[in-house]
Structure 1
Amino acid sequence: MSVGSFSESKRNGGMLTIQPSTAHLQAMAEFAKQVPKAAAAAQRRAINKTLNWLRTHTSRAVARQERIAVGAVRQRLRSYPVTGSAMRGKLWFGINPLEASRTGRPRQSGTGVSVAGRRYRGAFHKRVYGANADIWIRTASKHFSAGDYPDSRVTARRGGSSGWIAENDSRFPLAKAKVSLEDVRPHFETWVRRADERLLEVLKQEFNYELHKYLKGGGRV
């Protein structure tokens, strides 16, 4: 018979007795045996959920700050969830300059190209190298500014797709418009602290889930 908590009414008051039932005691005993396994499962889920949370909120924050499409930021984030017994998840964030053409939808006009609130005077949107069109400017143009074309270097046409390329046998060197992501670096510690707070919150939820699962008789991790 499973008794558990009960109450008694008397002439001058009532008595409430709180105690676990026989079924609950048995469940707790079984849970105690499975604590290491249940705790490991809870930690894995908590870390992986926190990684997804961090990836979502980081990409949104960077997109707002740098005026970049969220999809482009997410391509710079790579999650490494928990696998096996190593209780450690990682989120890699690539902060090399991002091609301006990926920050939004480029619009060509007679005076240049605009995209995501930025304007590149004297530039043109065209497929010069590779399969996709980018925003380029001739380095001899009076509108060329190194600040709008970071991480640029002169390379041969057969070289890498980033930086400068030489068009028509180096007579008209071009530079590709990019957006620097260096300004997001100071926020790393802030995101780590927020993620740590979030992890603690999710850990509590996952441990409670494991406990309630056993109390309800579903004693499997």
Structure 2
Amino acid sequence: MSIGSFYKTSASSGPITIQPSTADLKAFTDFAQLVPKAAANAQRRAINKTLGWLRTHLAREVGRKEGIAMRAVRQRLRAYSVKAGSTQGKLWFGLNPIEASRTGRARQTASGVSVGRRRYKGAFYKKVYGNRPDIWIRTASKQFNARDYPESDISAAAGVSSGWIAENDNRFPLAKAKVAIEDARSLFDSWARRADERLLLILKQELNFELQKYLRRNAG
């Protein structure tokens, strides 16, 4: 039995599955038997449109809740459209921390780096690893606070370790500023329910579109 849209989270992601419930499917059973291809097309378009709607609105709410630019959140949301013969579409959401430099416009100040509503005292905005600048701090700095740098592993030589990814070289140990988005999990349940409502609305519109085409084609 189809229970409708639902979500299931793991340690690093939170996919939301979009699909019609059994009760919703009964609403167009007769039409589907009459013109199954038209009904399948309507259902596919409805699910794919709901995925796009959910991606936009979930990115907006997570961005507002966490103080992150919407474009940065959208990069963590990946929609998988309905494939032929399937009645499910998925929206994948990566939950690993986001580099702070991607959450807004980073500004170097005399006391550190600011980006959005966040301030990183003692940090600097510079290209150190990779091909783009990021927000870094020397772990020996008195202003270093591990809570502002989640998933940055500080070498044992520095005297501090958070048990995650190394961001240092032989010259000096560094930590990269990142923003944890674990709290976004709390939004999945409510948005899965909203997606169910949205899917039913769009499904009715798409079925009506297909029905009108069918009636016009067979008029007279």
Shared fold (TM-score, shorter chain, > 0.5): yes
Aligned twin of 2:5: none
Aligned twin of 1:177: 177
Computed over aligned residues only, the root mean square deviation of the Cα atoms, in angstroms, reads 1.8
| Change over 3 Å in CA distance of 1:140–1:55 after alignment to 2 | same
* 4+ residue runs over 3 A deviation: 31-34
For 1:58, the aligned partner's letter is: L
Q: Quote the Cα distance in structure 2 between the aligned partners of 1:142 and 1:119.
A: 15
Q: Quote the Cα distance in structure 1 between the aligned partners of 2:149 and 2:53.
A: 32
Q: Quote the Cα distance in structure 1 between the aligned partners of 2:172 and 2:218.
A: 71
List runs of 5+ in structure 2 lacking aligned partners: 1-30, 156-163
Q: Quote the Cα distance in structure 1 between the aligned partners of 2:210 and 2:41.
A: 9
CA offset digits 1:19-57 (Å, max 9, x no partner): xxxxxxxxxxxx776422111111100000000000010
User: Is residue 148 of structure 2 the alignment partner of residue 148 of structure 1?
Assistant: yes
Aligned twin of 2:204: 204
Cα offset for 1:185? 0.6
For 1:165, the aligned partner's letter is: E
Pick from 165, 168, 179 the counterpart of residue 167 of structure 2: 165
Does structure 2 retain, via aligned residues, the 8 Å contact 1:108–1:125?
yes
For 1:69, the aligned partner's letter is: A
| Change over 3 Å in CA distance of 1:213–1:121 after alignment to 2 | same
List runs of 5+ in structure 1 lacking aligned partners: 1-30, 156-161
Aligned twin of 1:25: none
Q: Quote the Cα distance in structure 2 between the aligned partners of 1:60 and 1:201.
A: 21
Q: Quote the Cα distance in structure 1 between the aligned partners of 2:178 and 2:91.
A: 23
Q: Secondary structure at the match of 2:137?
A: strand
| Change over 3 Å in CA distance of 1:62–1:173 after alignment to 2 | same
CA offset digits 1:156-175 (Å, max 9, x no partner): xxxxxx944223x1x52100
| Change over 3 Å in CA distance of 1:33–1:200 after alignment to 2 | closer
Question: What count of residue pairs does the alignment treat as equivalent?
Answer: 181
Aligned twin of 1:96: 96
Does structure 2 retain, via aligned residues, the 8 Å contact 1:163–1:175?
no
Q: Quote the Cα distance in structure 2 between the aligned partners of 1:57 and 1:166.
A: 37
Q: Secondary structure at the match of 1:141?
A: coil
Q: Decide which structure has the larger Cα Rg and report it.
A: 1
User: Is residue 134 of structure 2 the alignment partner of residue 134 of structure 1?
Assistant: yes
Does structure 2 retain, via aligned residues, the 8 Å contact 1:51–1:79?
yes
Sequence identity percentage: 64
For 1:111, the aligned partner's letter is: S
Q: Quote the Cα distance in structure 1 between the aligned partners of 2:60 and 2:32.
A: 41
Q: Quote the Cα distance in structure 1 between the aligned partners of 2:217 and 2:36.
A: 18
